[in-house]
Structure 1
Amino acid sequence: MNHHVNERPLGVDAQNDRSNSPALPTSPHTNNNPTGDLAGQASPKKSVAFYLTFIAVLLNLLVYTLDATSLAVATPTIAAELAGTTLQSFWASISYLLVVAVTQPLYATLSDTLGRKPCLYAAYLLFAAGSIVFALAKEMSGVIVGRVLQGLGGGGLDVLSEIVVTDMTTLQERSLYLGLLAIPTALGSVLGPTIGGLFSGLVTWRWLGWINLPLLGLSFPITVFFLRLRSLEKPRLSGLRTLDWVGIALFSIGAVLVALPLSWAGSLYPWSSFRTLLPLLIGVAALFSFAFYEGKPVAPIMPHRLFKSRTATATLFGVFFHGVLLYSLLQWLPLLYQACMSKTVLQSAVLLIPGSAACVTAAVGGVTAIGLAKTGYKWTIGISWVLITIGTGILVLFDSNSSDSMLYGLPVIWAVGIGVLLRLLYLPLQASLTHVDDTGLAIGVLLTVRLLGGLLGLSICSTVFSSYFMRSIEALGSLPSSLDHLKDPEAAVAFIPQMRTLVLPDDVVLPITQAYLTSIRAAIYTMTGFGGLGLLTTFLISDLSYQSTERGQQHFQG
């Protein structure tokens, strides 16, 4: 294994990065020249197997993202057809992302022990089985079981595909391929709700399960025949005995018990309910125990050395805030269009297209440009957070009279910042690693932190919205009998599709519209504050060298 030996004085953060390294040192890091001195070293020509494998990775991420974003629009139709309860509808929506959040670090550590391909095969099998169970479901319990199985597979398809890209590339060339990975992620995010609306409205929601099978049918054989990774040096099954089983159990219990109350607080149960507080407190205690325990195992799933670098820790905080804003605004922007501008689901999806296009372009262009120019990433991260914070804040300018040009244009500012950070935050985390074979674990941690941030953001927005909506409705006094249920803020979101069909006087409808607008604006102000917190993390990040040509134990051999 070749090591980059461009010796230079190290900054404080770089020294922290290199401390406590148990094995392989990576490239020396410097705060003054983040590019290293590799201008004369050309990357070897890529094989056909390399490009085919990368196509399979793109397909995996597209399938994962489509499934993560398509069901929310279709859930009311599914619940109506299968006579589902509110609780069952909630579980059908949340089970997928919850299982993904829990399983991603587990896939990462298992793939370090058993190899990437066996774990990928298991992910394919689980996802395909879940898609079939979902598509054939005769009642809501079948839908939930299918979504859980899809989540078990989706967590692997997502994190292992990202890890495989790091096996296929050196840190020096990785920025280009990380940027390209944003294409299926962003496309899936915008196409998911549209596909969910089209299938559930025009054909059948069951096609949300069937559509996965041909995509997996393309990706799976490519993975089998063209993903060529170096064999692990240690026997695979014997490595299972050294796995961090206690840590896996503590993390799984803690993550589930924290994620569940965060996802239902303010919507299914109030924050003050024991159903919210008890599991949340137990989950936090389990995660603290997990964090303490991870210093003891031989092969921890989240080794403490990942967090010893100030840059790595600050980056993960940035990833968390990025998840808060990404998932929250993707949910609440369409609801704003529907509640306050009388847009349909499909019209709302169309309004999101310019922002999604800007997000894809920024994600690919921003990270790729840094890689080609061999410049540092710190200031690009900072500028992106400024765009996110400003772009989120100006969304409060929307009202029921906003022109289509405003609706199309203003979210682009937020989307550009979100898009750049979608992949750029991988670079400082990976550049700070002291052991090249920690890359898989680091990616698993990053993706899990982003999802947990998303769950927290969704629950905070839900709580803020409910609080303001309840006060706004109470201030209106008496309402027509057809609107009495709006006094329960938990019914407010479900009522949004009916806003366009109300046959009531304007002096009744307009105050209701204003109540929605005031409540969603409050959530936007809250998200703007999180954008400011994300900006602060930039000052703790250092420009470390990402020009290493070192490759991991399971590197690609194509």
Structure 2
Amino acid sequence: MVSATRNSGDIEKPGNVPTSFGAEEKPVSNWKKPYQFYLASLSLWLAVLIVSLDSTGLAVAIPVMTTQLGGTTLEAFWASISFMLAVTVVQPIYVTTSDVLGRRIPLFVALGFFFVGAIVFAVAENMATVIAGRVLQGFGGGGLDVLSEVIVTDMTTMKERPLWIGLLSFPMAVGSILGPIIGALFSEYATWRWLGWYNLPIIGITAPLAFFFMQLKPLEDSLASKLRRLDWLGMLLFAIGAILFSVPLSWAGAMYPWGSWQTLVPFIIGILFLIGFAIYEKWPTEPVFPHRIFGNITAQTTLVGAFIHGAILYALLLYLPLYFQAVFVETPLQAAVHILPLCVFVVVLSGAAAFAVEASRMYRWEIWVGWILLAVGIGLMSLWDRNTSTAETAGFQVLAGTGLGILFTVPTIAMQASAPTVDDQGLAIGVLVSFRLFGGLVGLAVGATAFTSTFESAIASLGSLPESVAILKESASAVAFIPRLREVTLPQGLMDAIINAYGDSLRNIWYVLAAFAAIAGIASVFLKELSLESEEVGRQNWEVKEETS
């Protein structure tokens, strides 16, 4: 295979040098596809949209929901982290099962989980049920998120793919914009429960489109034979390791100190499980994370970047709305509007960057620019305070959003170009998406820890507090109290001190995220420019029954 020979050694090759695969080189428009292709693509776009909406819509509604249900800050963080935890654990499982069983069965399983989870969330009467609903949605959302990108690799060749990855990024990024706004509208003017209910009609459209129009080649072999080839032990080792590694990050510094056995013991055991998983993956026939995917510097560097990109993206989407609600004492809707500059530029640049790769056939320079802009933008955000002008809050978000948008799509192209064979391209994108979401989980957990520990010391320095705000002595109640900041009457000096405590706590998160971006930018120097001209198709490629028209 040409691609295997080229990429397995990570051989640098200019992106604008085409690879010949035969005499048929006639230019055919990338847009010339049968209507079934577009309807199947629509089902993927809708699937990505609901996952993106669900990932971001809860952030601005958390304070209201937590107050109504009598929850704590720790439960509020768990409402977000439980979703990410479930997504992170199941994504590699969806990728490996879809590679063995075919894409359709895992896709509909994911839709089913998401449907049930949305209902459980919508009818919840306490935070425990909210978290259970979020876990179920995470089980489904993890599959929808990763399979949508994997299926795009099945439906297109490497040469066609930048355009279609760019199109897939639009609903992903649009959800990042609409999610906070919808969350704010429902929590302020209706009920946060609609954040669950509105998913149902979208799933009702997505499932039939995928069922009737997704024409992927089925994999031969019996179901029993396929099930025997699955890496059951590898999936179990990864799930246990991911949970034990991630959960302590959410409570360290909040529920238990970092140095306590409750934090260190599961954290260390989780690391050991993940190391054991990585070693074990050399032997299965169909491993969850094939070692060959990691065999070159471009793949390794891209995965480091994906992990850090996820940590930054999900932390910003959670903590930026909270910053404006706490420091600027805004309503959830006002906070959602305030973060529009970030979200709009994520949308615009995620598509534009992929289209730029489509035109230039090169990706490395875009990734470098993305990391520089992201590090600078977040670094400048640490200068914010309650007197910062709208121009500064918007301008710094534009820089960060531009970087985030570029890094949403372009690294996926580099990752697929680095895959050893065409059939590994789906696995490669699945591994990347898993790394991004795993990074998101760690980013949320680290952010929660940084916020809680800083807030606790800042409030302690204020001494005794009036009864109306005495609950802030317990840092676990800090987020749930944010909506009440607009209602309490306090001496101006004390109010300023409390707002400054929120601002300082959130500013520490910006410092950490800016450092992450700088590290990823340095690592990206080692990327190689690989060819994007392959026209090979994989074994689950789009069936061309009606492509002669």
Superposition TM-score, scaled by structure 1 size? 0.91
Match of 2:229, SS state, is: coil
How big is the shift at 1:58? 0.6
Shift of 1:50: 0.7
Q: Distance in 2 between matches of 1:6 and 1:480?
A: 68
1:501 and 1:82 mapped to 2: Cα distance?
19
CA 1:41–1:530 in structure 2 vs 1: closer, same or farther (change >3 Å)?
farther
For the residue of structure 2 that corresponds to 1:401, the secondary structure is: coil
Residue 27 of structure 2, aligned match among 42, 57, 63? 42
1:408 to 391, 394, 406: 394
Distance 1:434 1:331, change over 3 A: same
Q: 1:120, CA displacement in angstroms?
A: 1.2
> What are the Cα deviations for residues 112-153 of structure 1, in whole angstroms up to 9, with x where unaligned?
111111221212222222222333345544433332222222
- Of stretches 32-41 and 423-432 in structure 1, the one that deviates more from structure 2 is 32-41
1:104 aligns to what?
91
**After alignment, is 467-476 or 296-305 more displaced?**
467-476
C-alpha distance in structure 2 between counterparts of 1:369 and 1:279, whole Å: 45
Secondary structure of the residue aligned to 2:230 is: coil
Equivalent AA in structure 1 for residue 94 of structure 2 = Y
Q: What do residues 301-325 of structure 1 show as CA deviations (whole Å, max 9, x unaligned)?
A: 1011011111101110011111121
Residue aligning to 2:534:
548
Deviation for aligned residue 1:181: 1.5
2:209 is aligned to 222
Q: Does 1:501 align with 2:487?
A: yes
Q: Does 1:16 align with 2:25?
A: no
State whether residues 298 and 415 of structure 2, in contact with CA within 8 Å, keep that contact through their aligned partners in structure 1: yes
Structure-2 change in CA distance of 1:78 and 1:340 (3 Å): closer
Query: Would the aligned equivalents of 1:34 and 1:544 in 2 still touch at CA under 8 Å?
Result: no
1: distance between equivalents of 2:15 and 2:43?
A: 35
Structure 2 equivalent of residue 148 of structure 1:
135
Change (3 A) 1:207 1:522: closer
Asked if the contact 2:64–2:483 (Cα under 8 Å) also holds between the matched residues in 1, the reply is: no
Partner of 2:359: 372
Using the alignment, how far apart are the partners of 1:467 and 1:132 within structure 2?
35
Matched with 1:192 is: 179
1:360 CA drift (Å): 0.8
- Partner residue of 2:120 out of 120, 133, 136: 133
Q: Residue in 1 aligned with 2:148?
A: 161
Match 2:446 to one of 460, 466, 491: 460
Deviations 1:312-365 (A, max 9, x none): 011100111111211122222222212222221111100111221111111100
- 1:404-444 deviations in whole A, cap 9, x for unaligned? 22222220100000001101111111111112212222222
Whole-Å separation in 2 of the counterparts to 1:510 and 1:78: 26
Counterparts of 1:144-293 in structure 2, within 5 Å, are 144-293=131-280
Q: Aligned-pair distance for 1:502?
A: 3.0
The one-letter amino acid of 1:277's match is L
Deviates more, 1:327-336 or 1:412-421: 327-336
* Conserved? CA contact 1:131–1:212, under 8 Å: yes
Q: Given the superposition, is the C-alpha separation of residues 271 and 494 from structure 1 closer, same or farther in structure 2, using an over 3 Å criterion?
A: farther
Say which is worse superposed, 288-297 or 438-447, in terms of deviation.
Answer: 438-447
Distance 2:4 2:225 in 1: 37
Segments of 5+ residues of structure 2 without an aligned counterpart are: 545-549
Distance 1:33 1:167 in 2: 21
Write the deviation string for residues 137-196 of structure 1: whole angstroms up to 9, x where unpaired: 455444333322222221111111111111111111111111122211112122222222
Quote the Cα distance in structure 1 between the aligned partners of 2:464 and 2:3.
75
Distance 1:280 1:418, change over 3 A: same
The Cα RMSD (Å) is: 2.3
Other-structure match for 1:296: 283
Identify if the C-alpha distance between structure 1 residues 289 and 264 changes in structure 2 by more than 3 Å, giving closer, same or farther.
same
Output one character per residue of 1:271-306: Cα deviation in whole Å (capped at 9) or x when no partner.
233222221111111000000000011111101101
Contact 1:34 1:543 in 2 (8 A): no
What amino acid sits opposite 2:87 in the alignment? V
Distance 1:551 1:267 in 2: 50
69-78 or 418-427, which deviates more? 69-78
Aligned residue among 425, 441, 444 for 2:411: 425
Given that 1:4 and 1:550 are in contact with CA atoms closer than 8 Å, whether structure 2 keeps it comes out as: no
Q: 1:135 to 1:335 in 2, by over 3 A?
A: closer
Shift of 1:232: 1.1
The equivalences for 1:301-450 within 5 A come to 301-374=288-361, 376-450=362-436
Deviation at 1:496, TM superposition (A): 2.4
- Note the residue ranges of structure 1 that are not aligned, 5 or more in a row: 18-28
Equivalent residues of 1:98, 1:256 under 8 A apart: yes
CA distance in 2, matches of 1:313, 1:390: 24
**Displacement after TM superposition at 1:90 (Å):** 4.7
1:246 CA displacement: 1.0
Quick check: 464-473 or 431-440, which moved more?
464-473
Asked if the contact 1:437/1:552 (under 8 Å) is kept, the reply is: yes
Match for residue 527 of structure 1?
Answer: 513
Q: Which amino acid aligns with 2:239?
A: S
In structure 2, distance between residues paired with 1:33 and 1:198: 45
Distance change >3 Å, CA 472–CA 113, structure 1 → 2: same
